[in-house]
A and B are shown apart, each in its own frame.
Chain A
Amino acid sequence: MVLFGITLNIFSSERFPPPQFESGYVRPEYTVPMPRGGVWPLIDAIVLLSALGIASWLVHKKRSRRALFGLMVFSLAYFGFYRKGCVCSIGSIQDMSLFLFNKDYVVPLLTVFFFIAPLVFTLLFGRSFCAGVCPLGAVQDITLIKPVKVPVWLEHTLRYLAYVYLALAVWLAVMGSAFVICKYDPYVAIFRRNGNLDILIMGGILLVIGFFIGRPYCRFLCPYGVILRQLSRLSRWRVRITPTDCNQCRLCEEACPYGAIRPPVHEWPEASYANDKKRLALFLILLPFIIAIGAWTGNSIAPSVSRTHPAVALAERIWMEENQQAEGTTDASQYFRSSGETIGSLYKRAAVIRAGFEKGGWFFGGFLGFILGGKLILLSLRPRQRDYEAERAGCVSCGRCFRYCPKEQEKIEETGGLSSR
């Protein structure tokens, strides 16, 4: 009986009696189709856990690209097309951020599991989640037709986007503005075979780019990938190109479409040693300044970013309406005016949220400054490395390089196996 919230129902206390029927008519009841609840979350969790386990086993023990490919297809079918891309580990970042900062937010256990299980597996086995479980990874890996190498400098620059995306997603999620990762998930429209135009266009463009540039979302955008990169650096077991010892044959050099194979690095060249050291020192000194500049920038863009929050947007709209800077009303402003809340209280509410954004801006910018500075420092270092190795952070365990290794071929012949493609 009530369209507008605060206006109380005149007859809220009792129910007005319905007509008395003489014909014995029986009023129908509501039908209550229930959500996919019950054991289904448990099944999802078991499928996730099994897929992670199988992926890790395939990468480390079986070393089979063909089997991994099969698992990818399965994950794409189950998590992508059947579960329609939701819940996913990438999006769970937002749930977890909101959950950690907001006492009232209710997070489903399944989402917590989707967030944590791949992290634990990555700490143990590297990014086997990216290899065989993530449906977004699978769709890109399967559609990679003709890989093109991305120059190292461009790779590093573009990867920075993922950090920005992560920081922004966490910032907006914590403030309760929006879940941008879900909103702009480029592949969800493919999983659902439906979506609004801009997402379809974005998904299409990224898909086409992915024909030539391996896993563009994973490498340059994925916020969860950023987290997994760091944890993968610490993994207990790492992906090995060769099953035994590297004989430096360089056959695998071109095998990786994701630019994750690093050639051996020997001694620091005498000529550039002094210069490089100086540069490192400079970056170390600059780091605090970069962080400070980042934090200041983050803080100063905060008011504009705060507009993504519905309450702030509404307060601005009401202010414009009150000051004759906007004509008419929007659905939201109309609802607000009927809700009985005073304009002053809305302004106060919005001001608190905006202040929160400003505080968050320091961390947002500071974090990005830290990443930038840290990246510059890391680039000035030259970790020594003897063999051809898959880079811990960048390797998504896709298994493409295994068959390039002559040692692997030897092993296959020995066992007569068909394990690799």
Chain B
Amino acid sequence: MDNQNKKTRREFIKDIFKTGSAAAMGGLVTIGLSSQAGSAKDPRDIISLTEIDPEMILYNEINEPVSTGFIESRFVAAGAAGEVYITGDKAVKVMDSQGRVRDTINLTVSPFCLAPFGKGFYIGTKDRIMVTDRKGAVQATWASLGENAWITAIALDEKHLFIADAGQRIVWCYDHGGNLIRKIGEKNLEKNISGFVVPGPYFDLAIAPDGLLRVANPGNHQIEAYTVKGEREFAWGGFGNRLEDFSACCNPVSFAMLPDGDIITCEKGVARVKVYDTFGKLKGFVADPKKLADISSPIKLKIENVQRYGFDVAADSEGHVYILDRERNVVRFFKAKKNGFPPARE
């Protein structure tokens, strides 16, 4: 009797333990689940801006990213013969399209940007243009564009040289000899020119195959087209949360023209490198944004898939695309996928 009593008591205690531990387990699971629910992704999070359909990736990365060797990488340009020029610190690096460094041209000043021509380079320093030969020997130095000048891009056509001046929010049109022809993009509401809104040192331009000048107006989230005479022809783009829109305060930060008139754009803050047609219809992406801002690459970022320094982009006549990652100091090499482009998306 006594023994049995003892046994039931023991069992009773056991039962209490069992119930108790079950309750504890249940509690833990609930806490775990609720904490998971709490960490559910906010649909308005910045990460959703970088989530794209893999079908929309139109390019392959053809080799490993190549380190620029600079502390501060600034600008990438493509040459006619498939070579790539990268400026940074106080030098210009010349690579072939496989990323092998062919030459390093040392300079006495910091090259903000560069445009190669037949015999040499037009190099943009902070406030003036320097003409050098292929070895970097200075042939001519043009007059300063002003104390507030901040040259971020140069484009050439047969007669003109266009300078994007981010500091003074203007495009300068010169002849090849350094004589000022006109200013482009000064605010003129009669001519439908609202002026360039450039909040930061990102202001890009290029000559399109159609002969018109394209200028990024980052504060307005637009790409604008001008004639060489400074008439505004058309513009496209806008701010928004859709994939085809430009995000954040001031984008696109840089762009490059492809031989067929398509445009590749880069955005600051979101690692999206997009392909648009001439009139701004989104065709696709050069790479997966998550891969471009890969957190396992040398610099780890607090905000996933966000990069602080805008990428710079260049494209050559064969349609190779070069992306300069100013934060990780690497150049990435891309080539269009062979199977052609899928139809443009609405």
Contacts and interface: CB of A to CB of B under 8 A. Distances in A.
Contacts of A334: 300, 302
Interface in B38-86: 71-72, 74
A9 B201 CA distance: 12
Given A16-B167, A16-B200, A10 B72 contact: yes
A14 interface: yes
Interface in B296-341: 299-302, 308-309, 326-327
A152 interface: no
B300 A8 contact: no
B167 A338 contact: no
Nearest to A16: B201
A14 B71 contact: no
B292 interface: no
A351 to B, nearest CB: 24
A337 B300 contact: yes
A329 B327 contact: no
A4 interface: yes
B27 to A, nearest CB: 21
Contacts of B184: none
A329 B300 CA distance: 10
A14 B126 contact: yes
A1 B200 CA distance: 11
Nearest to B326: A10
A3 interface: yes
A311 B135 CA distance: 47
Interface in A1-21: 1-4, 7-14, 16-17, 19-20
Contacts of B72: 8-10, 12
Interface residues of A, number: 20
A16 B71 contact: no
Nearest to B198: A19
Contacts of A8: 71-72
Interface string A6-48: 0111111110110110000000000000000000000000000
Contacts of A12: 72
B200 A13 contact: no
A19 B169 CA distance: 8
A7 B326 CA distance: 10
Contacts of B166: 16
A9 B72 CA distance: 8
A267 B294 CA distance: 83
Contacts of B104: none
Contact of B302 (A2, A3, A10, A20): A3
A19 B148 contact: no
Contacts of B74: 10
A10 B309 contact: yes
Contacts of A20: 148, 168-169
Interface string B264-277: 00000000000000
A338 B326 CA distance: 14
A166 B148 CA distance: 60
A3 B300 CA distance: 11
Contacts of A10: 72, 74, 201, 309, 326
Given A11-B201, A19-B199, A338 B148 contact: no
A7 B201 contact: no
B305 to A, nearest CB: 15
Interface of B: 71-72, 74, 110, 126, 148, 150, 166-169, 199-201, 299-302, 308-309, 326-327
Interface of A: 1-4, 7-14, 16-17, 19-20, 329, 334, 337-338
17 contacts: A3-B308, A7-B327, A8-B72, A9-B72, A10-B74, A10-B326, A12-B72, A14-B126, A14-B150, A16-B166, A17-B168, A19-B199, A20-B148, A334-B300, A334-B302, A337-B299, A338-B300
